């Protein structure tokens, strides 16, 4: 038990050293049991700052990536947030822990079902949908924030139009080897774009993404 707390504390310190200064984000990373979102065989790596494999050849993102995207999205209690790429459910748990109302779409049924039972077991109220997330989740739109956790060849039009009037969309855009994080902020005068560093995500596959 003490060991686990020590590992969590070390991870939070590593993230702080890498530039994560939002205390709420660091606390969410500390509070959420990442070991539950991965297989038992990998549990000893749960608090390393690395992406790890999950089922169906997908990944749970690196804690730094999760923390960085969450920090730049400036998640506030009550924000209505759409996540594309539920995966293990870990990023959705972080957003929910920060007080956001979370909607998350996953295209792989097994991952959707696993995340549904785990998030319910941990007590997170997240709305999940099995679908092609490149089309968004129009019934609940508009969203304050949209976070895409898979790498896209371009910006899916359906997502941009589901933002509210000051909404923000964060999405990795590039080829399948490497992507740059792109933040799109809506305003009365149109959309503002800001690029961040390079990251590597699994591909966003769908009608408005890479083809399967
Ligand atoms: N956010 C996840 C987590 O916390 O574990 C990590 C996501 S993983 C890096 C990317 C996920 O995006 C995969 O589970 C993949 O199946 C999913 N994905 C890819 N294309 C998608 C699409 N069009 N719609 C929904 N999910 C998609």
Mean pLDDT of the chain: 96
The Cα 89–Cα 34 span in angstroms is 10
pLDDT of residue 54: 97
Ligand 1 atom index nearest CA of 90 = 4
Task: Specify the DSSP class assigned to residue 151.
Answer: B
Q: How many Cα atoms are found within 13 Å in the side-chain-facing hemisphere of 145?
A: 23
| pLDDT over 90 (residue 3) | no
Whether residue 148 is predicted with pLDDT greater than 80 in this model: the reply is: yes
Nearest-atom index, ligand 1, CA of 66: 4
Q: Please give the distance, rounded to the nearest whole angstrom, from the Cα atom of residue 46 to the centre of ligand 1.
A: 19
Distance of alpha carbon 60 from alpha carbon 201, whole angstroms: 10
Predicted pLDDT of residue 2: 60
Q: Where are the domains of the chain?
A: 51-62+75-199
Instruction: Indicate if ligand 1 lies below 6 Å from the C-beta of 68.
Output: no
Name the closest-CA residue to atom 2, ligand 1: 87
Give the distance (Å) from ligand 1 centre to CA of residue 189: 31
For residue 165, name the pLDDT band (cuts at 50, 70, 90): very high
The domain made up of 51-62+75-199 has a fold known as Rossmann fold (3.40.50)
pLDDT tens figures, 97-110: 999 999 999 999 99
Instruction: Check if 168 has its Cβ closer than 6 Å to any atom of ligand 1.
Output: no
| Predicted confidence (pLDDT) at residue 1 exceeds the cutoff of 60 | no
Ligand 1 centre from 1 Cα, in Å?
31
Residues in the chain: 212
What is the pTM assigned to this prediction?
0.97
- Res 112 pLDDT > 90: yes
Structure tokens, 35: 């070991």
pLDDT at 59 exceeding the cut of 90:
yes
For 186-205, what is the mean pLDDT?
94
* pLDDT recorded at residue 95: 98
């Amino acid at each position: 038990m003490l060991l686990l707390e020590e590992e969590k504390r070390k991870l939070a310190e590593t993230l702080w050293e890498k530039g994560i200064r939002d205390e709420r984000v660091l606390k969410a990373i500390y509070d959420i049991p990442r070991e539950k979102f991965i297989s038992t065989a990998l549990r000893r790596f749960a608090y390393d700052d690395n992406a790890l494999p999950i089922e169906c050849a997908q990944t749970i993102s690196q804690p730094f990536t999760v923390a960085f995207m969450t920090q730049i999205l400036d998640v506030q209690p009550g924000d209505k947030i759409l996540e594309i790429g539920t995966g293990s459910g870990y990023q959705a748990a972080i957003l929910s822990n920060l007080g956001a109302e979370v909607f998350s779409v996953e295209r792989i049924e097994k991952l959707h079902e696993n995340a549904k039972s785990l998030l319910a077991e941990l007590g997170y109220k997240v709305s999940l949908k099995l679908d092609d997330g490149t089309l968004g989740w129009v019934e609940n739109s508009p969203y304050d924030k949209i976070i895409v956790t898979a790498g896209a060849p371009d910006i899916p039009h359906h997502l941009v139009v589901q933002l509210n009037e000051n909404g923000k969309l964060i999405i990795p855009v590039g080829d399948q080897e490497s992507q740059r994080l792109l933040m799109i902020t809506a305003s009365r005068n149109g959309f503002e774009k800001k690029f961040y560093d390079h990251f590597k995500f699994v591909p966003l596959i769908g009608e408005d993404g890479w083809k399967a």
